[in-house]
């Protein structure tokens, strides 16, 4: 079946949104081979997240069973995006097909499905409608896909709880230490960071509850940094760049700022010359952004964090061949 202008716009919009988000330098973007899908991409850092997707626009719901079966049967996929025309028959058919797959051995793979509904009267020939739909998809895909899948499920509440620690810099120092050296035991970690055991114990427990650290034991023990913990280190590294005045052109990065706003981090509201380290001045303890930047500034001053470098897109095979 020939695709429509609406179908093509929506499929391309999904790729544009994820490619644009990669300009935050938090991860890289490579468009994938579409094979059975309308769009596909690979988001990379020291991990790889494969995103595939289908766009449902004109086939009246007849292909929903085939689309979901393709999503479920595909191996090595981290998220399956379904952009669908918002009609009652589509929603009804999708619910019916989803329910039927809940009774199969592959039902756990339904958790990687992300459905985004687009108004049925959308027309790709209308520039204003295209802008509105793109902005809507950017917001929804960023919140439900990029934050949840790529950035380890980070939420604004996670940021607030991390920032509310009364030991500036220590949570970031612990995450960096565990990522680099692992976690042997409380005594070893406290000695390595030159901090009291009580302080380390308290912060490790907070990081564990926030799911920035994980352990095979519910009581803790051998900890490792989760995807969310890695993501907050990466974000704080870019906030450090902001404080040093070299986040990007003019000390700005629109795509990074957009992701931060979704997380309640309004870093441009705090001048990068503001006194943030301990003893420099008073911090507004009701402002999570100010508190988070204090953690970044103090950890930077202490030299306690190995800050990740910005992550840029890997060159494609064609670019390598011609270089």
How far is residue 6 CA from its own chain's centroid? 27
Q: Is the pTM of this model over 0.85?
A: yes
Mean pLDDT of the 124-132 span: 97
pLDDT at residue 196, rounded to an integer: 96
Is pLDDT of 5 > 80?
A: yes
Q: Helices (H), strands (E): how many in the chain?
A: 12, 7
Nearest in space to 60 (alpha carbons), one of 103, 1, 116: 1
**304-313 pLDDT, tens per residue?**
999 999 987 5
Q: How confident is the model at residue 9 (pLDDT cuts 50, 70, 90)?
A: very high
Mean pLDDT of the 129-144 span: 96
Is-contact 81 53, C-beta < 8 A? yes
Is pLDDT of 103 > 60?
A: yes
Q: Phi and psi for 213 in degrees, rounded to 5?
A: -125, 145
Nearest in space to 139 (alpha carbons), one of 6, 7, 17: 17
**197-216 pLDDT, tens per residue?**
999 999 999 999 999 999 87
Mean pLDDT of the 117-146 span: 95
pLDDT at residue 220, rounded to an integer: 57
pLDDT at residue 1, rounded to an integer: 47
Is-contact 24 45, C-beta < 8 A? no
pLDDT at residue 297, rounded to an integer: 97
pLDDT at residue 283, rounded to an integer: 87
Q: What percent of the chain has pLDDT over 70?
A: 93
């Amino acid at each position: 079946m020939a695709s429509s202008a609406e179908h093509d716009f929506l499929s391309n919009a999904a790729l544009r949104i994820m490619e644009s988000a990669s300009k935050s330098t938090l991860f890289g973007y490579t468009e994938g081979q579409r094979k059975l899908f309308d769009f596909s991409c690979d988001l990379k850092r020291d991990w790889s997240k494969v995103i595939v997707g289908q766009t449902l626009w004109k086939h009246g719901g007849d292909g929903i069973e085939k689309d979901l079966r393709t999503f479920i049967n595909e191996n090595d996929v981290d998220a399956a995006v379904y952009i669908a025309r918002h009609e009652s028959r589509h929603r009804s058919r999708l619910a019916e097909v989803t329910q039927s797959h809940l009774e199969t051995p592959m039902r756990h793979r339904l958790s990687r499905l992300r459905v985004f509904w687009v108004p049925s009267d959308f027309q790709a020939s209308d520039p204003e409608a295209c802008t509105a739909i793109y902005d809507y998809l950017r917001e929804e895909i960023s919140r439900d896909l990029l934050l949840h899948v790529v950035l380890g499920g980070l939420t604004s509440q996670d940021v607030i709880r991390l920032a509310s620690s009364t030991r500036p810099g220590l949570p970031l120092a612990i995450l960096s230490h565990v990522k680099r050296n692992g976690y042997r035991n409380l005594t070893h970690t406290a000695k390595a960071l030159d901090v009291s055991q009580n302080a380390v114990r308290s912060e490790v427990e907070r990081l564990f509850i926030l799911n920035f650290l994980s352990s095979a034991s519910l009581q803790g023990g051998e900890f490792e940094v989760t995807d969310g913990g890695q993501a907050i280190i990466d974000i704080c590294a870019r906030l450090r760049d902001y404080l040093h005045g070299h986040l990007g052109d003019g000390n700005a990065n629109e795509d990074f700022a957009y992701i931060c706003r979704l997380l309640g981090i309004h870093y441009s509201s705090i001048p990068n010359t503001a006194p943030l380290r301990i003893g420099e001045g008073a911090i507004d303890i009701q402002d999570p952004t100010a508190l988070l930047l204090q953690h970044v500034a103090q950890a930077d001053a202490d030299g306690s964090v190995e800050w990740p470098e910005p992550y840029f897109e890997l060159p494609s095979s064609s670019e390598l061949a011609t270089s």
